[in-house]
Structure formats: C-alpha cells, structure tokens
Chain A
C-alpha cells in the first residue's frame, strides 16, 4: 500500500546471555500507515519498548526486516541509522532528558542544528512550535529546572518535532506527570497527530491509549490482537468503553 510508512516483517529481537537466549520479540509483523496514531500496550516485559526501539532504529533487530518508506533500515549501519533517526524520527521519553545547562530554546535548537544549518529558520520554527504547545515567550530563555514537569515534557515534544519527522516515537510520555499535565501533553500529541504526523506510543495508561486510533496488544513478544478505534470520534465515550472491553478480553 502506498501510504504505508513503516513496515516490519518477521521481526525478532533476541538478547542472549551466555547460553541463555531470551526472545523478546517473536516473528512480529506490523504495518504503520502515514498519519496513524498507534498505541502499543501490554504488560511489563512483553516487549513494548523493545518493539518501539527496534522500529525507530534505536536498536537493531536480531532477525527480520524493517522498511521505512520502502527502504530496509534493518540493513543500515549504526551511522546510517543515526542519520535516519535525525531526519525522520522524533522521540519523547518518560524521562525528559533536557540538557539542564541550556535554555529551552537552545535545547530545541541543538536538535534542529543536527539536520539544518539555518539557525534563523530553526529558531523561528522552535518559537512557532512552542506557541503551539502553549509555552509563552517568557519560557524561551528559562532553564529546564525552572519548568514544571508538564512544561518540560512539552518542550521535549517540541524538540522531537523540530525536524518535522514523519514519525514520533513516544515511550510512556505521560508516565512521570500528574494528571493535569498528562492531559496537557496528550492534547499536544493528539494535535500533532491531527496535523499529519504518525505517532507510535507505548503506554500503560488506558486514558492515554484511548486517544489512539489503533491499539496493539503485545504479549510475550507477539501482537496477540489489535483494536481499531478509528471509526469513533475523538471524544466519543464509546471509545473508552470499547477499549476497556478490549483490554479486559486481553487479560489486562
């Protein structure tokens, strides 16, 4: 299909320690379409984060292939992967990983400067994005320690978006935030998705998951089922109900 952006085939990831082999992902097949908001759920140790890292090129799969827009990134060297990640992927983590010795604007711009040399354009885009996520001019020159958790995570989201990546990978972005901040951050992510960027997010939280239009349930390294919420409107209360039923049937 033409609008498939990321495709994984027979993906396996094995961690071996001496003679003990641990297969974390097993023959996983997955297709992500452009503009999808995909959420990966599953109990701890089911391989969610491993899958996210393999898909995003942060880690190499042991077996199988990953295609990004028809190009097999699973054959890339580490350097090629680094370039690929810079250009096409944005990352948001539970730990925010902002550089404490840099201002908000610098933190964002340093990511932008990895790809482009046009300082002015990057600064403008950074400011624009900061406005979008609801951070005022006053925050530009603040240091991360002067921000709340929610604000810092929004800065991290802006940093992830600065290079206009096709896919944003988020590993429990709201895991360390209180509920108000979490809703804020989720609103931002949902908005990002509405503007056309694909999102792949790992989460434990049902409230976070119901924002997605596709839920994958992972168990022991295998996608045992998936739920499509695309047919429901964003605020439809049925979304929550159906998701809850789905997760219950999965043994959540």
Chain B
C-alpha cells in the first residue's frame, strides 16, 4: 500500500512538472506557431539567478521562489523582444532555428560566465522533506508540486477565461489578424503569452532546484524535450492537451518503472516512446488536438 501510494505520488509529481513546462510551450505555440526550444534555458536563467542570489547572500527561500518566477517571466519576455520578434513574420522554420540558437547561446553563456560543472544550490532544500501521515511517508516536495501545479493551472484557466487579455490570447490562437482588428496590441498579447510561459518555467525551476540541489548549464534542455513530447501527445497547441499530455507522460514513465523487472529497466524510454507512437497512430492529432479547419479565406 505504502509503495503503491508512493508511486502514485511519484507519477502525479512528475506529471505535474511535465504539465507545467508543456503548458509553457503550448501557450507560446498556440498563438505564434513557435516551438520555443529555448524554453529550457528560461528554466536555466531562473535557476542560475537563484544560485547567484544565494552566492550574494540571499537566505530566504520565499524570496528565492519569487525571484525564480519573476526572473523566468522577465527572461521569456526578453527572449521574445530580442530574438523572436525580429523573425515573427518569417517562416516557422526560421523561428525554430532561432529558438535553437538562443538555447545554444544561453547554455554557452552559463558555461563561460559561471561554470560548465554543476553548482550547488541549497537555499531551496528545505522544501524537500519527508512528511509522515500515520504509517505513510511522503515527500513534501511532491505534495507541493502537485498542489502548486494544480493552483497554477486553475489560475491560468481563470485568466484565459475572464480577462480581456486572456480572451485575446485564446482568440489569437486561431486568428491573430482579427484580434488586431479588435484594437488589441499584438505585441502586448505576445509579450503576455511569453510572460506566462516564463512564469510556468520559473515554477518548474523551483521544483527542480529543490529536488536536485544543484544547477548545470543543460538543466532545462532535457525537460523541454519531455514537455515537447507531452505537447505532441496532448495535441500541439492545445492547452488542456499539454496539461493532460504531461500528466500522462508522468504516469507512463513511472508505470513502466514499477512494472518493468530490474534487468529490463534499460528499455524504459524505448517502451515509453513505443506507447506514444502507438497513441499517435491511433490519434495523429494528439489526444485533445483538433484538425485545422479549412474554410474562410485568410486575410
């Protein structure tokens, strides 16, 4: 029982983290058609900012969390302003290559300016404790990951459904030109989407730091690949799809970890992707993706 509960919590926590990062990718993709592979470096900038703040004498974990989220949102907006805005109307491959370029440049900056080696960050370690509920021992970090991700998604849903800017982001995911006809500034809609995407990355950075206790230049890159896969499973560009895809990926990974005998553990990733391929054969547009409707003449 204890073991099953622990693994369920594992799956939920991994899934929540993938969901957060996948949502960040999806928010930007849905309105700009840009797969932002530099999203991992936003996580990196956020984590290194906590590392630097701690090195400069910051001791409050609370301030560190605010810093991580704030810097991540800012970094995302800066990336957009500096790198993505000049290529906004270029073909999508240009945007994709730009994102890879940003990713490589920023990773190398981490290596040159700080160190290629992992650096220890202990300020957030306090988030990662064992909590005992009667006979059950659970990781406080995992419980927090689950609750914070849930609340974040709820806040995002409220924002997208209630505020004018949120409505504009949803509308822009289908028809950007007409959103501009409503008198809404395109730059503002895009900057907001990037800021949201960055904030989600910052929350993920907090959890990664608390779990690993260190930061390295390639911190976010692997996670973004996972998030990309989560988006594909859910249907690229669909926000509910990203959340569901992330959760499903967490469950598949942890499920295989539990189900596979020790000697076959090396096949875990291969099996994970085999399951995903099977899923995509069955539903090529992803779980919650929609086929693009062709009809009205484009403006």
A and B form one complex = no
